[in-house]
Structure 1
């Protein structure tokens, strides 16, 4: 079948990063996929699509502005899909309208446990126009059913991470006995309020003032609207132990260069970056929110930041810094856990279960069209 995959942008965040793997699974099931991006934004995902040979169109001439509904509908019509697949709220609303007008079934991703209030109200009102909701984790599946009033039968899970044992591994922290070694701490994500990166900077200031003997350097990898604010915060505190390194095109190599990973998010869905760090064998410190609370095993493969305060984070960092054996054990456990739970066979089985449901929707719609009964939501 022909699938049009509508996504908000090709910015390079958590919804765009897994696109090559998603499309590869769809192609493996024999389907043709064309991506329609409503905007380019930073365009960090463009190279990924090109490398994977994925056909795509960017529908807005202005990189920072989304295409209109009218432009999107025209593009969908041109590609004459059997199925419309959507990712993120604006793309989902546009895709739902296209589904109604073209009488095509719609499948929509949910990537996050949190929706902005207005987006939540909109999707709650239009949820029945999506025929199948796909969540990136069991936690997000539960949130989707509850927040959008979607029946459980219409929500299915497809984890957006596939473990790859061949990816580079981190060298465990060996300690600071010689007084020169630096504990490399990192995090990856959009520089937006959700990620709570200001707390990281506060923790690094606390370490400088209260534990000046420790040599920990924090690198924050990513782009976003808070970059100027975070840079100002670092300068105002006079910190030389924090770096903003910008977007990381190769997160696997980035994670393999760390001794510890930290994710202090206020809310999360699957959090792909955390999985990449654990796959590299890096111990993590995370707030126990979203799917992170299910992925990290506190005290075994990582540590929970609870309460999420600068002082608590600093104490956890010192715990890792002072105990290389603990770092090594946690890193090994993290890698073993990820390679076991997210191996290719497991993810392929879940992806194919989703695609079978999608294929059934298309077959049902074809039958409905022949019978003249219209959109598949009317014949459930």
Structure 2
């Protein structure tokens, strides 16, 4: 007898095409789960940035090849801050009350999780929660200081399982009082492009470094901008591009002008819907973060095979062994970061070989297909446990 495809609800306040690491992770996972045979309903908010998108989108993957269905539901909300949160929570609760699901998987330990845990208890389906980060900007920190955070934390601790994407996330959950027996270690995953990055002909004339992600304080981008005039002492035509949007944009723009970075030397084009295309046009990916759980942008660069430089913080060291998969530099040190960038470009054959080792590592350990199958194994175990009482 063929096993019935599990009906999964994936909850995330924001979802692609909105750009951000957490959004891309969930988008990749939702598609991979559907390709593996699950019927996946993504529940997200119809925020202003997605106003032009249909409230419902559906994709069927060939059943003959073991595929399932992916349906995206953009639930009504409001642009007003507190009213919007209330409206979104109400519509989430209504959807979960009227649509049968076997399991709910929730991004972030916030309002979505609060609604899902209550719905799961009432309707008898397991709920799995996924914190998206650690440190001062992580979910556990938000529960400690955010509006209604303590109340939400109490309910989140009743979830059937939690997914920790990295050891720091697991440690924070345990320290905050979450049951360690319910925490499962499952990393982020990314697609593996079939065609690897190739160096540009004549790249030495105007080498390009790129950052992709949210322009936020924890990304350490002021360090990267301060490093750039030093890089240009060796590579006078070197270009730095920060792809993304966020609260640090005005300050970074001001800092770049103060340092005399103008024209092609420095650019902030905003978010991009095609991250792979942006990476293919670069000669180095740089991630100078001071905090990371498990950077999806770094994993995407490694999966493509772009040479990388990253800050030597725990989340990045989990992915990169220095001089093997890329280069690591201490955070908050512009001079050292600049020197490391220059070394990568000055010994580009070595950087190229490291980039191929990085691509191989991601392909073996962090491909989205592998990660999706590990999630499905956990989901099926929890569903079977729920059905057996």
Same fold judged by TM-score > 0.5?
A: yes
Aligned twin of 1:326: 350
Residue of 57, 60, 65 corresponding to 2:73: 57
Aligned twin of 1:377: none
2:86 corresponds to 1:79: no
- SS of 1:42's partner is helix
Residues of 1 paired with 2:362 and 2:20: CA distance?
Answer: 21
- SS of 2:251's partner is helix
1:129-208 matched pairs, under 5 angstroms:
129-137=158-166, 139-140=167-168, 142-171=170-199, 176=204, 181-208=205-232
Aligned twin of 1:40: 47
Residues of 1 paired with 2:372 and 2:360: CA distance?
Answer: 22
1:1-380 matched pairs, under 5 angstroms:
1-10=6-15, 11-28=18-35, 30-40=37-47, 42-43=49-50, 54-62=70-78, 65=81, 66-68=84-86, 69-90=89-110, 91-114=112-135, 115=138, 117-120=141-144, 122=150, 124-137=153-166, 139-140=167-168, 142-171=170-199, 176=204, 181-208=205-232, 211=233, 214-240=236-262, 241-343=265-367, 347-348=369-370, 350-368=371-389
Matched-pair contact (CA < 8 Å) for 2:234–2:342: no
Residues of 1 paired with 2:163 and 2:237: CA distance?
Answer: 43
RMSD (Å) for aligned C-alpha atoms: 2.9
Residues of 1 paired with 2:346 and 2:180: CA distance?
Answer: 46
Matched-pair contact (CA < 8 Å) for 1:6–1:38: no
Counterparts in 2 of 1:273 and 1:26: CA distance versus 1, 3 Å: same
- SS of 2:125's partner is coil
- SS of 1:86's partner is strand
Deviations 1:10-31 (A, max 9, x none): 2321122133432234335543
Deviations 1:254-300 (A, max 9, x none): 11211111101111122111112122222211112243111111022
Deviations 1:298-325 (A, max 9, x none): 0222111115311111111221232223
Matched-pair contact (CA < 8 Å) for 2:299–2:362: yes
Deviates more, 1:182-191 or 1:355-364: 355-364
- SS of 1:33's partner is strand
- SS of 1:16's partner is helix
Residues of 2 paired with 1:157 and 1:351: CA distance?
Answer: 13
1:129 Cα deviation from its structure 2 partner? 1.7
1:144 Cα deviation from its structure 2 partner? 4.8
Residues of 2 paired with 1:267 and 1:306: CA distance?
Answer: 12
Structure 1 length as normaliser, TM-score?
0.83
1:38 Cα deviation from its structure 2 partner? 3.5
Deviates more, 1:224-233 or 1:79-88: 224-233
Counterparts in 2 of 1:307 and 1:228: CA distance versus 1, 3 Å: closer
Residues of 1 paired with 2:356 and 2:223: CA distance?
Answer: 27
